[in-house]
Amino acid sequence: MGKLVAVSYVTLDGVFEEPAWSGPYFNDELGNWQDANLAEADALLLGRKTYEGFKAAWPQMEASTGDFGKKMNSMPKHVATTTLTEPEWNATFLRGEVADAVAKLKTEPGNLLLNGSADLLNYLTRHNLVDEYRIMIYPVVVGEGRRLWHEGTKVALRHTGTWTTTTGVEVVTYVPA
């Protein structure tokens, strides 16, 4: 049985979109942590917007990102979409009820990694399908922007770990309570 791990970047005031603000704080510590997240994953689970962004960027970044980029480009991707029709970049489109499709994926061997995809994350949280939340809280307040957690998303969590990078990013891990 597989596990679904969600990894998110967020500002201190809860903004998650367009994480250009993360650049000054990203360092080798976070890079190594992200390497480990990807290494333990057997497939990516993505929303349509994140999939399209990753698909446009990662093939051109493979040479500069080494093994990480190779794995990103070669691993299977499961994409929640109702609008795309031609899967590319090792993707399979989830059809029908997404919660049912993800629940079925979790019965199969292998771990799923959900990066970004706030709409999908909130949806899967409401359906109790996320097994672990790994959140990088950046020491920056941007004052506006799309929040990670949507109105109406509620979940009780149990803290399982925290560590802080030398640049001040808090990496916090939770599991459903």
- Is residue 6 one of the residues assigned to a domain? no
- Is residue 100 one of the residues assigned to a domain? yes
- Measured distance CA(43)–CA(37) in Å, rounded: 11
Tokens of 56: 């446009």
* The residue to which tokens 């919660």 are assigned: 99
**Span 47-63, pLDDT tens digits:** 999 999 999 999 999 99
- Is residue 51 one of the residues assigned to a domain? yes
**Domains identified in the chain, total number:** 1
| pTM (2 d.p.) | 0.95
**Span 94-106, pLDDT tens digits:** 989 999 999 999 9
Tokens of 44: 């990516």
- Is residue 84 one of the residues assigned to a domain? yes
- Is residue 22 one of the residues assigned to a domain? no
Residue type at position 89: W
Q: What is the CATH number of the domain that holds 125?
A: 3.40.430.10
What range does the domain containing 97 cover?
Answer: 31-112+119-168
